[in-house]
A and B are shown apart, each in its own frame.
Chain A
């Protein structure tokens, strides 16, 4: 069937690009005139669709899966623009199909926001899904984390081939039980990615945020930590065994492989185990070039703004995106304060979440010794109050990000710098950095 919708949609896309318009508008047009476009195009892919969802780390993990599959020679379609909506996917597809509507790819790897994933999987059943975690994030939008877990469960129940689950996150691991109640025909295969026991204490979950009197606790948190050992845990397809300064050990197929890692932060590297497990599921029984796969894993760089390192005045400047208590605590743990000048930028715009309660679920003790140079963002004073109660010393409090950034850079010349920032403050900081200095992205 020759359809006019694709040429028309591509034309709209080109025109709206020329006008500098939004990326989703052409998607809207094609959706209106050809509602079956997205399903039809995705259904034509030989390996189908894989979705990546969860609260934290979707963007970097999606990028990793794409790069792992490309290392094996697959052609991959992905929603690179960061659009999480059905319409955004349709718009990205328009960019990649030829004028006849054919997509030259083997598989689509799609990053899906929990809120929109259900709508999407009801339209397009994924062949594979990877469910990363359920953490407290922007609860003012989703209401409750149990509800988020139910959204992920719905994605899993619509998956036709393999569901990859985080063994260490109780709310994600529990999805397996729900899948087992499905009839045999609709029961997807379940795989897990997991952590070595020695690393579990670095992965808090929100139910056990704290223990006696000492504030938010970083320990004793996963399913495994409750049971104390591996015995009660399902076997994992990929296990992250060790994280070093520049490398990591992954165990799969009964062997432990050491690889250098460009990614920083133990939570990013745990997501590398997740990506590896999904890639293995997709590659299935076909030929796998394991050395190439491991090499690709080591070379994955973080996605935009998530633990990336820039160079400012010849010194590294790290931007660490923090958007929920678990992410902030993992960020503090993964990037130790010693030797760094530190700034914290907290905004409360819609994309950051308006509720500031989450700052009180993070323990800032690790910053006590070195202190924090500058606090900024709309809620800089909330952050100051938070640090005051944790006895962490700080210098300048300046809500205006432009002024604060200048003060920070001027005041810490010759020193490596680190900025913990919420989403919209990160965008503002990048904009300002581009004005102040030549920003060179080094990883």
Chain B
């Protein structure tokens, strides 16, 4: 392990001295209920990388009953307990039209696990009741008694190798309106049969992967940031974040057992 070159921690660029290239507003959906298994990591990575690319991040929260901010550039949402999903269900339905319009217009979004399921058409629980989704993604999810747990690696034409950790009993099937995010090389993914993971629609990235997803997959984080900057300012001028540790963490994670 000693042969690996280690980036020096101080090498991280701190662009505070330069004038900001503009403000990007990141909205976290329901962080109070949907924040399980490191979902904060995704918001933190967006915040820091926006800064490292020379822009100014602004982190916003939307919780049940809040007023929905009308100018957001990136939306990120996570997973939750079953109880958490019940709490947000009605409020999410009330926001469905707005979120759908944003997705249709190309706003970049990342939804993980629970909110991935609720961004689909419905979740049919294993005990019977159907939780309606908001139909942004052409996917449906069926609760099962089998829990898909463990490390996941997959290949994506768009983002290269994607690594993370899955933990879900809902199994998701994709309709013709979405593409899978990647093809699984270790782990289960959307369901125990099809061999693919996550879903893509416009600039919406949906996945079951925790880990957290963005720290070890900076390509996805930068896709969200680039898309947001291009939509807002017409262009994206990237900075030079130091991804040495991300690369080493990926190498080591890829060797871990399922």
Contact = CB atoms under 8 A, between A and B. Distances in A.
Partners in one complex: yes
Interface of A: 136, 139-140, 143-146, 207-210, 212-213, 215-216, 348, 354-361, 378-382, 384-390, 393-394, 397-400
A357 B83 contact: no
23 contacts: A140-B150, A143-B169, A144-B81, A146-B83, A207-B33, A208-B32, A209-B40, A213-B59, A215-B40, A354-B150, A354-B256, A355-B210, A357-B165, A357-B211, A360-B41, A360-B215, A361-B37, A378-B252, A385-B216, A389-B44, A393-B9, A399-B1, A400-B1
A309 to B, nearest CB: 29
A138 B150 CA distance: 12
B246 A385 contact: yes
**Most chain A CB atoms below 10 A, which of B61, B245, B253:** B245
Contacts of A387: 9
Contacts of A146: 81-83
B125 interface: no
Nearest to B242: A388
B10 interface: yes
B97 interface: no
A388 B210 contact: no
Contact of A379 (B1, B246, B252): B252
B220 to A, nearest CB: 15
A146 B82 CA distance: 8
Given A355-B167, A389-B44, A382 B38 contact: no
Interface string B246-258: 1011011100110
Given A213-B59, A357-B165, A389-B48, A382 B249 contact: yes
B252 A385 contact: no
Contacts of A207: 32-33, 84
B72 interface: no
B12 interface: yes
**Most chain B CB atoms below 10 A, which of A210, A354, A385:** A385
**Most chain B CB atoms below 10 A, which of A139, A208, A397, A398:** A397
Contacts of A389: 41, 44-45, 48, 215
Given A384-B245, A385-B245, A398-B1, A210 B215 contact: no
B95 interface: no
A215 B44 contact: yes
B34 to A, nearest CB: 11
B203 interface: no
Nearest to A372: B9
A216 B167 CA distance: 21
B56 interface: no
B120 interface: no
A307 B252 CA distance: 29
A409 to B, nearest CB: 18
Nearest to B84: A207
A381 B37 contact: no
A140 B1 contact: no
A282 B40 CA distance: 43
Contact of A210 (B35, B48, B252): B35
B227 interface: no
Given A355-B165, A382-B249, A144 B40 contact: no
Contacts of B117: none
A388 B216 CA distance: 12
B157 to A, nearest CB: 25
A326 B233 CA distance: 41
Contacts of B252: 378-382, 399
Contacts of A361: 35, 37-38, 40-41
A1 to B, nearest CB: 43
B49 to A, nearest CB: 9
A25 to B, nearest CB: 27
B151 interface: yes
B81 A357 contact: no
B165 A397 contact: no
A381 B248 contact: yes
B82 A144 contact: yes
Contacts of B253: 356, 379, 382
Contacts of A385: 215-216, 245-246, 249
Contacts of A381: 245, 248-249, 251-252
Contacts of A143: 147, 167, 169
Nearest to B256: A348
Interface in B138-158: 147, 149-151
Contact of B215 (A209, A378, A386, A394): A386
